[in-house]
Amino acid sequence: MDLGREKCWGNSKDSWRTTLVLAYQSLGVVYGDLSISPLYVYKSTFASDIHHSETNEEIFGVLSFVFWTLTLVPLFKYVFIVLRADDNGEGGTFALYSSICRHAKVSLLPNQQTADESLSTYKLKQPPESEKSNRSKVKMLLEKHKSLHTALLILVLLGTCMVIGDGLLTPAISVFSAVSGLELSMSKQHHEYAVIPITCFILVCLFALQHYGTHRVGFFFAPIVLLWLICISGLGLYNIFVWNPKVYKALSPYYMYKFLKKTKTRGWMSLGGILLCITGSEAMFADLGHFSYAAIQIAFSFLVYPALILGYMGQAAYLSKHHQMAYDISYFVSVPESVRWPVLVIAILASVVGSQAIISGTFSIINQSQSLGCFPRVKVVHTSDKKHGQIYIPEINWILMVLCIAVTIGFRDTKHLGNASGLAVMAVMMVTTCLTSLVIILCWHKPPIVALCFLFFFGSIELLYFSASLVKFREGAWLPILLALFLVTIMFVWHYATTKKYQYDLQNKVSLEWLLALGSSLGISRVPGIGLVFTDLTSGIPANFSRFVTNLPAFHRILVFVCVKSVPVPFVPPPERYLMGRVGPASFRSYRCIVRYGYRDVHQDVNSFESELVNRLTDFIRYDWSRPEAASDGHEDGGFRSSRSSGEQMLAVIGSLEGFEEHESITQVSVSLGFPTVESMGDIIEMNMNPRRVRFADDDGDDEGGDLRDVQMREELQDLLDAQQSGTAFILGHSHVKTKQGSSILKRLAINFGYNFLRRNCRGPDVVLKVPPASLLEVGMVYVV
């Protein structure tokens, strides 16, 4: 069940019954990773830095740290603060970045238009008068310095890369820790030869089943996690009452002080293992769009949090009376032997569920990065027609599988895996803290002192844990750092080159006067069919079209310049997706279509896009000829007049009747004039229309001008129908990018080698759009940037 869209449109609040159902469903998707952390927290903490002694100061100190870490970070920070920083119901790193970009001009995305601000999902809350001065100073500082824009993007990319690193490490440590429970049932020699192969086999099966999608087995996930939470809480209560009922005293912060006083530097270094108790906390925010704020809050506060605390307390109670376990602190030693095998099976299943959640999250965040032009094009398969956001990326899946198995075989123990995973988790949390601080000022309009308090309090906690992980650089923590540097380099190079290509297109676009000078035939023979010219420009004539016209003597009767662009919102309502306009007079049969997608939107395949485009074009033609201003625009005589020096035409947002029925909160007709774009000034008229309600002539039927427009409209619609039946050609640019002479060595390496290598080895735009080879025309272009 996906309520992300419903939240975007602001429908009625969830009933309590629906909220409770969502809270139950969130167990399998959101809390799988967090719930299995008891398997490896104590074992990672006591791996080498500290040892369990008869005084119990170490085990009680670790329990106190675990309790307060779980209370302050997942409960206070995420449940009560960060979850409120949603973007139209969506959460995650890109949701925070999107909100910031809408409230301050810090986005590095190309082809942004002021018209995008009229989207119903483009929420901008005005600050109170008392807060405008402080907020404006921070906003002006961010907008003034371009270097801060780049630094903000790099910060977001760093958080994204750490999430990908977590998607690599979490399955390895989760499954390995669960399978390690076999060590209590076999000899050490057999255990060493059995655990690694079994772990690798489970990981191969896990990744091999990804193409089926989580929706096919998703109904198993929540019961498994619920059963696991019942197990750890029940076992925790058992161990507390049987072994040490007074273990609750260790929840006092005083035991943290005693722990650090006794262990000193070794205790600080052991924090790298303690922080693993909050792995998976980021999933509460990242998966917010699939559930609701209330559902995630209820599930964590009343079930997950108490179960985890009882589980950790039970382990501590058992270990406080079993000091002979000083070098064998495993979760399964505290499980009674009579139920050890059932608990082992449930633990393995829960680890698979937790791994599944982080793998799906990795697919999702890579898809978002790709939508915002920050990741090379990869194949995205939508595994569910009913659930939005259920995707599978084959290339990433198999790369993750190979790396995950390599890490498992290479590290071979919980200690190194825990060090690597802990650093990745804490880096993501620090990025979220920094971005949330900006959201508090720019979006919530709170005083900067509030944001500084939030940043200082939670940032200090996370920095303490991050430093403890960073010290273990040579013991596994190097892996997420190396992976993050590699991925950030790829993503930044791709984004930098994409931006430079757009700037080149912008500087070399052809003016509309050049098109008008060609005449109604555009200077060439017009052949039957529809020609779709894909470009990143939202105005002007792309250079690749002029190159095409210069070298070929024929073109299609219907010409559409298509710009598929991303906007900094999670979703664009279908009725507001298409911006339509003319390029030249009506006799040219040339149009512009801007297709807007949010970073979580599902892009249409070529067949549905083609039919949808023709339908929207039909609606626009009917609307355009029905306007009273049609005569002044020169439709009747085939002439053309424009009051804008750039020659840009009026654009209309054309929606469908189905859109109204699904999203009732969107107004049917709204008119806004004089929207500027990044490239030009143009009139934007928004109209969500039902074609059957459009009037083509005056009521009395005596208006000869109206009759003439009606005839011309029907001729244009007939031309469009005939062209559609003749077929559609997709004209895409086939680019090669190289640097200018005199460019720096770093720029030459990034563009000439890095970007071109990625471009040659990733999927081309024709593959992404699934364009049939028979309908594809590629125009070669050399970009000198």
Question: What confidence tens digit (pLDDT) does each residue in 300-347 have?
Answer: 999 999 999 999 999 999 988 887 665 567 788 888 888 988 999 999
pLDDT at 670 over 50: no
pLDDT at 431 over 90: yes
As a whole number, mean pLDDT of residues 226-244 equals: 93
As a whole number, mean pLDDT of residues 8-26 equals: 67
Q: What is the dihedral of CA 647, 649, 650, 654, to 10 degrees?
A: -160
Write down the H helix ranges in 412-470.
Answer: 414-442, 448-470
Dist. CA 163–CA 358, nearest whole Å: 8
Cα radius of gyration (the chain): 30
Tell me the per-residue pLDDT of 465-499, one tens digit each, with 9 for 90 and over.
Answer: 999 988 888 888 899 999 999 999 999 899 888 88
Tell me the per-residue pLDDT of 80-117, one tens digit each, with 9 for 90 and over.
Answer: 999 988 887 778 888 898 888 888 888 877 666 666 77
pTM over cut 0.75 = yes
pLDDT at 592 over 80: yes
Dist. CA 45–CA 414, nearest whole Å: 10
Tell me the per-residue pLDDT of 372-425, one tens digit each, with 9 for 90 and over.
Answer: 788 888 888 777 665 555 678 888 889 999 999 999 998 888 888 888 888 999
> What pLDDT is attached to residue 4?
39
Selection from 526, 7, 570 nearest residue 296 by Cα: 7
Judged on CB neighbours under 10 Å (0-12, 13-18, 19+), 28 is: buried
> What pLDDT is attached to residue 628?
67
> What pLDDT is attached to residue 307?
95
> What pLDDT is attached to residue 9?
33
Answer with the residue of higher pLDDT: 671 or 284: 284
In this structure, of 32-41, 487-496, 520-529, the range with the lowest mean pLDDT score is: 520-529
pLDDT at 679 over 80: no
Question: Can you tell me which residue has the tokens 């563009």?
Answer: 751
Q: Count the neighbouring beta carbons within 10 Å of the beta carbon of residue 208.
A: 12
> What pLDDT is attached to residue 322?
82
Mean pLDDT over the full length of the chain: 79
> What pLDDT is attached to residue 388?
58
Cross-strand pairs, 562? 534, 593
- Percentage of the chain beyond pLDDT 70 is 79
> What pLDDT is attached to residue 385?
62
As a whole number, mean pLDDT of residues 554-581 equals: 85
pLDDT band at 636 (very low <50, low <70, confident <90, very high): very low
Q: Across the chain, which distance is largest between two alpha carbons, in Å?
A: 102
> What pLDDT is attached to residue 214?
58
Answer with the residue of higher pLDDT: 595 or 139: 595
At 468, phi and psi to the nearest 5?
-65, -35
> What pLDDT is attached to residue 659?
35
Selection from 625, 604, 648 nearest residue 696 by Cα: 625
> What pLDDT is attached to residue 127?
60
Q: Count the neighbouring beta carbons within 10 Å of the beta carbon of residue 332.
A: 19
Dist. CA 739–CA 135, nearest whole Å: 40
- The number of C-alpha atoms within 13 Å of 262 and in the hemisphere containing its C-beta is 19
As a whole number, mean pLDDT of residues 223-239 equals: 93
